[in-house]
Amino acid sequence: MIARTSAVIEAGGVLGEVSCTPPLTLRQVHGDTAGRCELRLVGTAAGPLAGDDLSISLRLRAGARATLAATGASLAQGRDHAGTEDGRDRHGTGGHGTGGHGTGGHGTGGAAATLAIRADLADGADLVADPGTLVVCRGSRVDVHVELTLGAGATVQWRELIVLGRTGEPAGRATLRWDVTRLGRPVLRQFVDLADPMLTAWGGLTARRRVLACALICDSDPARAARTVVASAMAVAQRVDDHTVLVTVLDDDATGATRTLEELCVRAQG
């Protein structure tokens, strides 16, 4: 399945344009913060499944503020678990694991699913994004690409949570690519390969931990300069430049990884 979803957010929290292709659906909801556009990423089918090509594009105009959050986790399934032709699993539960990262639909063959998320922030724009947990089940592969382009004074907080396999089952495979620029200059280029068993077994990558939690924080406020914080060998906030920090946590428990991630985000911006 090929699915393309996009949205344009204007200053004042106005959702100027939105175009959704199932199963990638964006919904605007009421928020408590005036002038901020609250968006929810809703999945409408199982997946991502093998061969899916999914993308989301967000464009924030100058001074626009927005929050993107998922309504649930995504369950990436391989060819052996793709189920029926309408995208349901073997038990016929059409919405299982729907939500964040956009859920796939009709998988084809054993090819990797791809998920590309791009956010363009004009000058002074602000985005907080958490596309939700991506559970990569046995036999599946998902290639995730997060691309962020920032204008002058733009700020972003972006979180990613990847879980390799459901509890008690072998892990699927995934890759995560970060591509971040500000005013046309590279800020971060990173590729994390969780698809190679030899690499995932290496202590320098995951040491066989099944949960990878990441947060990228770009803040132009000079009073909140980024700094490196090492909480443990499995939890590090790395200063990228004066205003950017990349926080990475490895764990076997998604709840624990998320808690540690939030604590490190606060400390890194102290």
DSSP the chain: -EEEEEEEEETTTEEEEEE-BTTEEEEEE--SSTT-EEEEEEE-SSB-BTT-EEEEEEEE-TT-EEEEEESS-EEEB-GGG--STTS--TT--TTTT-STT-------TTPPEEEEEEEEE-TT-EEEEE--EEEE-TT-EEEEEEEEEE-TT-EEEEEEEEEES-TTS---EEEEEEEEEETTEEEEEEEEE-S-HHHHTSTTTTTT-SEEEEEEEE---TTS----EEEETTEEEEEEETTEEEEEEEES-HHHHHHHHHHHHHHHT-
* pLDDT tens per residue across span 71-108: 988 888 876 554 443 343 433 333 334 455 544 334 44
Stretches in the chain below the pLDDT threshold 50? 82-98, 102-109
* pLDDT tens per residue across span 122-142: 999 999 999 999 999 999 999
pTM confidence score: 0.87
